[in-house]
Chains A and B, each alone.
Chain A
Amino acid sequence: MRELSYREALREAMAEEMERDERVFLMGEEVGHYNGAYKVSEGLLDRFGERRVVDTPIAETGFAGVGIGAAMVGLRPIIEFMTWNFSLCAFDQLVNNAAKLRYMSGGQITLPIVFRGPGGAAHQLAAQHSQVVENLYAYVPGLKVIAPATPHDAKGLLKSAIRDDNPVVFIESEVLYGRKGPVPEEDYVIPLGKGDVKREGKDVTLVAWSKMLQVAQDAATELAKNGIEAEIIDPRTIRPLDEELILKSVRKTNRCVIIEEGWPFAGAGAEVAYRVTSKAFDYLDAPVRRVTGEDVPMPYAKNLEHLVLPNVEKVVAAVRQVLYRS
């Protein structure tokens, strides 16, 4: 199968959906003439023109709200945040409007809109530019939250998100844009809410999404050297969560370690741990463990940044604990 980068896969998803459906348009800072701050939308302006690839001023509340208004009356906007850090300026629009308009109107309003852009920590960008927001958005009923880890998943999930009739928060990973992987030529979608088994194993279940999948995979390779076979589950969609897939794996391995980049307090991993503990308690041979980012704003200094993020050693240590092999 041909290989595409994560960035190219996302671009192809948007281009194909814009081709299919005239109502789909892309809007955001630098998406057009500059070809995207991270070049995800490169070439789309040339292909679809200014009517459908719309550059905005720096006005997050404004253009997020414009997208919501347009979606209320039948367009299907893709709103790009240059990075998800800046979406916090538009948090009110996403939480109080996008998530709730359907419910508040007694189901009269349909809001087919995708908010997308890069998220997560990047190299030494410091506290205001390096943070995980999926937990914030996953908290809100009315939103769907997706965080793909591979080019294949990125394309299939973004196409589904664009076709979905709900507001979708689609969080890409800034450091995965250049990562390559197999992507089919033919049209395909991945249903929202369906996780994926990224590696089969029998000794422990690792749950990881977005760029933490790579950490989980590297840890699994390391563990395999000592005869420990980890199974890796990528839920891909944080909300709705593919609970069944996770539970099925835990019922097989009897142990679970969750790896997430974000802060530990009230994180999505806590929700996963709660569900595993309450619904597969009888199968567990050890308490569920979480490996998370440290509970601190992201420091700039490289050595400190390194301490904050989950890594292979931390995952291996957590797995040893649930196997009582420390």
Chain B
Amino acid sequence: MDRDVMLLLYRDMTRIRRFEEEAARCYTRGKIGGFLHLYNGEEAVAVGSILAVEPTDYILATYREHAHYLVRVGDMNAAMAELFGKATGCSKGRGGSMHFFDVSKRFMGGHAIVGGHIPIAAGIAFASKYRGDQDITLCFFGEGTANMGAFHEGMALAALWKLPVVFICENNMYSMGTPLYRTLAVGDVAVRARGYPMAQEIVNGDDVLEVREAVRRAAKRARTENLPILIEAKTYRFRGHSMSDPAKYRTKEEVEEWLKRDPIRLLADRIYDLGIASEAQLKAIDDEAKHDVAEAVKFAEESPTPAPETLFDDIYAEEQPVPDVEKVVALPRRASAGA
């Protein structure tokens, strides 16, 4: 394994962890409003997946999407400012924690209605195929989503039309307060793929390298053969569903058991074992993350709130002259992103 890649994975996972820990503190201090869903413990899934694909591939996630945004877009300032409801936020303060967007980086959101974004992901993949582009779409969601109608319909269409989309189920064992076994009639979400039918794979979601390998394979297939796949990453969220959930439905022993499998810890151990970096080097990465988070908070604090006169901006697209037909037909085509 490439040394630089290992360190990059470590860096991104650390940045997410530090960012979210600080976000939790800011939430408690009343700096952040609304719901705040944290991703602590699941970092390996977003990092392993998104770093396995091209920067031109599309990403969609749920309301628990800070991590996916940070891996793909990386702009901590814009992320923190969005949480603070500031004009400099990645959605100009309109979206908040659950609706991060950066379309220029093909980060297609933060979606807060469970299952609602799954057909949308299929639609983005449909457009790629339609245009003959080589781009694929990664769509993240939790295991609790696997019972929604939109989930089944989105999957069914993706399989039927052979759309280049990689569905990634972040199975953290709970949908809100309900454990998997009380919501799912099948043992693994992955088996649901059979009926559409669609390829499937189950991976250890705490192992960033395993996730990365699986998504690389899936992405290659999606790109070259237009075949969708459902990957189920088994993982665990260390905190409650959101900041308002004390997570009393889990035992201390259970949480402690999973804390031993902290994906960041696991990767650090691997890095030491392989002699890639020393403890001091990893600490330097961590310190840099903390520094960047502190800067982001400062940036967010000092940023202006959205101007009141912008309230009605962006409800509709600006009026534009009707383009002539030739321009409509000649859709932009981009060069292949490569596999």
B148 touches A58 (CB 8 A): yes
B99 touches A89 (CB 8 A): no
The residue on A at minimum CB distance from B85 is: A301
Interface size in chain B (residues, C-beta < 8 A): 41
Q: Is B132 an interface residue (CB 8 A)?
A: no
**Could you say which residues of chain B place their CB within 8 Å of the CB of A57?**
144, 147, 175, 178, 183-184
| Interface 1/0 per residue, A26-53 and B, CB below 8 Å | 0001100110010000000000000000
The residue on A at minimum CB distance from B184 is: A57
Contact of A124 among B96, B149, B311 (CB under 8 A): B96
Q: Is A296 an interface residue (CB 8 A)?
A: yes
Could you say which of A71-79, A217-225, A302-310 contacts chain B? A302-310
Q: How far is the CA of A308 from the CA of B311 in the complex (A)?
A: 8
Question: Shortest distance in angstroms between B108's beta carbon and chain A's nearest beta carbon?
Answer: 15
Q: How far is the CA of A97 from the CA of B214 in the complex (A)?
A: 43
Chain A interface residue bracket vs B? 35 or more
Q: How far is the CA of A296 from the CA of B182 in the complex (A)?
A: 39
Q: How far is the CA of A294 from the CA of B315 in the complex (A)?
A: 12
Q: Is A197 an interface residue (CB 8 A)?
A: no
Q: Is A59 an interface residue (CB 8 A)?
A: yes
B176 touches A126 (CB 8 A): no
Q: How far is the CA of A201 from the CA of B128 in the complex (A)?
A: 63
B178 touches A89 (CB 8 A): no
**Could you say which residues of chain B place their CB within 8 Å of the CB of A62?**
147, 149
The residue on B at minimum CB distance from A300 is: B96
**Could you say which residues of chain B place their CB within 8 Å of the CB of A34?**
176-178, 249
B176 touches A302 (CB 8 A): no
Q: Is A176 an interface residue (CB 8 A)?
A: no
Q: How far is the CA of A60 from the CA of B148 in the complex (A)?
A: 7
A123 touches B33 (CB 8 A): yes
**Could you say which residues of chain A place their CB within 8 Å of the CB of B35?**
125, 129
Q: Is A297 an interface residue (CB 8 A)?
A: yes
A58-B144, A300-B85 are known contacts. Are A33 and B182 too (CB-CB below 8 A)? yes
The residue on A at minimum CB distance from B142 is: A58
Q: How far is the CA of A58 from the CA of B141 in the complex (A)?
A: 13
Question: Shortest distance in angstroms between A294's beta carbon and chain B's nearest beta carbon?
Answer: 7
Question: Shortest distance in angstroms between B169's beta carbon and chain A's nearest beta carbon?
Answer: 13
Q: How far is the CA of A34 from the CA of B245 in the complex (A)?
A: 10
Since A295-B312, A299-B94 are in contact, a sample of 10 more A-B pairs with Cβ atoms closer than 8 Å, ordered by chain A residue number, is A58-B145, A62-B149, A89-B115, A126-B95, A295-B315, A296-B312, A296-B315, A301-B96, A303-B85, A304-B308
* Contact surface of B with A, Cβ cutoff 8 Å: 33-35, 82, 85-87, 91, 93-99, 111-116, 144-145, 147-150, 175-178, 182-184, 249, 305-306, 308, 311-312, 315
